[in-house]
Amino acid sequence: MLVAHAPGYLSEPELDEIVGNLQKKVERRQKRNEIDDAVLEQAAKRLNKGYFDGELEWTSIRWVTNQTKRSGRCTPSRGTIRISHRVAPMPCFVRDDVMAVELERLGDEDKT
């Protein structure tokens, strides 16, 4: 249950919009907490060994709930990989494909 305190001057439509946005944020956070980043780390290590001879290094890889248009994202300068929580319920080969693309982007940065 979500409880929100709001000033009396807000109209019902304004309040409904604010509460709706807060509810979506809470639901995303709950979904994020339901999936395990360790699964990504294990898969990344396996893909790194299989496709990149174990040469790639990253600082973190984790699920995120704020990516609505991308399945994955890599920031080579920081060594971070983020995979959308929308990929989690999909078959493992889809997750692996998304991760392989992001690992390759990470590897491309190492070559420059």
Residues 56, 74: Cα–Cα separation, whole Å: 13
Q: Are residues 53 and 81 in the same domain?
A: yes
**Could you tell me the residue range of the domain that residue 107 belongs to?**
36-111
Q: Are residues 50 and 65 in the same domain?
A: yes
pTM of structure: 0.69
Question: Around 5, how many Cα atoms within 13 Å sit in the side-chain half-sphere?
Answer: 0
Q: Are residues 27 and 46 in the same domain?
A: no
Decide if 106 contacts 77 (C-beta within 8 A).
Answer: no
pLDDT digit string (tens) for the chain, length 112 residues: 777 788 889 898 998 998 888 888 887 777 666 678 888 999 999 999 999 999 999 999 999 988 889 999 999 999 999 999 889 888 999 999 999 999 999 888 655 5
Domains in the chain, number: 2
